[in-house]
Chains A and B, each alone.
Chain A
Amino acid sequence: MKKRSYVGVLSAVLAASMALTGCAGNSNSSGGSNASGGQSQPAPGNSGGGTTEGGLIKIATQSPLSGSNSAVGDAIKTGAGYALEKRKEEFKALGFDLQLFPQDDQGDPKIGVSNAEMLISDPDVYGVVGHYNTGVAIPSSVKYEEGKLVMVSPANTGVKLTEEGKKTVHRICARDDAQGPKAALYAKNTLGVKTAYIIHDKTAYGQGLSDQVKMQFEKDGVQILGFEGITQGEKDYSAVLNQVTVKNPDIIFFGGLYPEGGIMIKQAREKGFKGYFMGGDGLDSSDMIKIAGDAVEGVVFTSVAGDVTQTEEGKKWAEEYKKVTNKPLETYSVYGFDSMNVILNGVLEATKANGGKKPTREQVLDAVHKTKDFQGQFTKVTFDDKGDNTNADVFIYKFDKDKSIFVGKAE
């Protein structure tokens, strides 16, 4: 009797946990999944027997849809998906079935690469909008290069990404060697800081940006009181913050992302730090407010994404976006949107050049690479030889109690 009940309990728990993890898999794939290939679309991979004669064209997104960066990752996916949805009819008229193929890179290089491998092995995938993390984009781009799959990044600012000479790599946003110096200049000229303490998260993005800021500060004679790294995922930064309070800098510059940045500013204020707190586009998320609480007020950050609601037309677009997607507007939403349109435009050009037939990936890549003066919803896109957008700008924002306020273009 006793033994039977034991087996019963065991199998019940097993069944429950399997059901639960099974569900977890499903919920993942509804928002894109990892290498195991969560096709969220109803008709995956039917390149031959589609309803339209021209065939299936999938455009992938790769961004963190789970994990601590998922707020921004989801905004990129949603923005790109919205752009694709809007142009579905246009492509149907040409005989193509357009499909979004969202992937979750979890902000993890290993998962990004295995997703990329899966994408290049799928002949219907014609482009990738992604990534969010430079540290994920660089190793993944090796795979894209192998598969001649064009990548247009809405958010990667790491300098190294386009310096490696990969033809498939493009980005529509500014680079850290534009962002960092402009942030430092703003801190010195507008905020009037004389001493600075720089903290970074030891990632390709965070440290890279911090290096740029440091270089500019040194050039301008702003005294650097410290340059320290922290470990991503930790929640206690008192060790480094104790040093900051001793040296009492005019500004803490943080090179990293909002989960760490939010905690850091909160703990710094608790320790009585009164100076400015500044970061790069990694702080650009509405979740920053949730994490930092009241301490977020006055936090300044630069972003490579501008405020689309600055113009009347942009405001209209934002309203529509919120209505259709039922998601809050993040600053990267519109960049996801524009990146997708750059790729779709490339597909269109390549199709034209191919006489209306389905183009090859290489033709799409060439077409995207040649993008010139393409007016997106927010940014104008002209790629230079490396794949950087020559029209990219850097913007300054400031957090109020419950939202970030656009301050202006950083000069």
Chain B
Amino acid sequence: MRSARFRRTRRAGAITLVSALTLTALAACGTSSSDDGGGSEGGSGSSDPAAPLDPKTKVTITIDCMPPAAKAAELKEWKEDVKAFNERYPNVTIDGRSTPGQCLEPPRFTAMLKAKSQPDVFYTYFTDLPQVLDNDGAEDITAYVNEKTVPALKDIDPSVLGSLEHENKLYGLPESNYTMGLLINRKLFEQAGLDPDSPPRTWDEVRTAARKISGLGEGIAGFGEYSAGNTGGWHFTAQMYSLGGEVVDASGKKAAFDDELGKQVAENLHAMRWEDESMGKTQLLKWGDLQKQIATDKLGMFLAAPDDITYMVQQLGADYENFGMGPIPGEKNTLAGGNGYMIKEGISPDKIKAAVAWLNFKNLTVGRGQFDWARKKKDDLPVGLPQPNFWLNESKRRDDAARIEHATMPVENFKTFMDNPVPGKAEPPKAQEVYKVLDNVMSGILTNEDADVGQLLSTAEQQVDQVLATQ
């Protein structure tokens, strides 16, 4: 009897002990799981996501796209920025990940998203957002981004920020942007008696200027357009946007270019090619062909983004001085794009705060980080190109002034482009497939004198509907 009581007492003690151990273990698990993969390592960050990062917080964040050793000047600036950032946040370790070549190669990027192996702060093109969300790749940072954490927030162009939003939630912060404008060859403008400081602002003016430039003879074309390798469709889209038109309707399911504006774009190009003969005889051009022509003074104008000029100077040996830019003719809308950084879903709130603090310091502060133009000039990097430029208001005024002050090229050549910003508009859904179909419209117009513009547009519209229906 006594022994039975003793057994019961022993059993009750064991149960109590096991229960206590289990509860302790569960409590420990709770702590660890709430941290979700390593949050702050010794910090005491505020639980309010809207509050800025507490400088005492100790975290390590991995960041995409640190410049590789081959880009010595850019890498030097990165290291300087990390050092300066650590003066404010000494406990944040910035672990930069560098990739050779371009920061984002689509196949590698997709694989990284699938494997959830992207760094805590990862580089994306604006057009990557749907893919990132489909893969639960990015954190909703709406609550973390405000005027305390990103003081210049109100001065960021809403159309740029909008490229990183979905259903009113913010998923990234921009680093760079581009919008298309009209790139001109100043030398040919002067030779043709045109004012290179005042590039054409309407398509009628483009037509008149192109006629004058092609009148110089010697195989010089006034205006150039692509019509192969999907780039024809891409530029047809840009021209449609410039007149306020659409390529795909708001539902994203129907083509919307077989209308009066579509005909206007097509007929204008057809007339320039065949009536004015101001677009040169060689067609079926794709990306790179027009850059070569304008760099060798064989082309007067084409639609481009400012970074084309960097390509022409650095790769084709042209001079910055010979180029200028105006806004896209028509000026209703322009095709826009760019890139930014997103923050990996599931990392701790302190890490998110540290990431926002770093992105604010490196990419979103006028006069610091990537906008430190004085340092760029000292490091022999190009200063004075009109983009990236997503600033508005006071930030724009200060940044533009600094660019001008430290310019390494004649910035007044881009004045018309900078003084007349055109609202940016993103690419249509299934962009490449749509562009493939629209290539036929462009090549038809530019290679066939007897092209039936209406027929070309109508066939392409049916085909784009078919492409969009299989989404």
Q: Is this pair of chains taken from one and the same complex? A: no
Q: Which residues of A line the B interface, CB within 8 A?
A: none
Residues of B at under 8 Å CB distance from A?
A: none
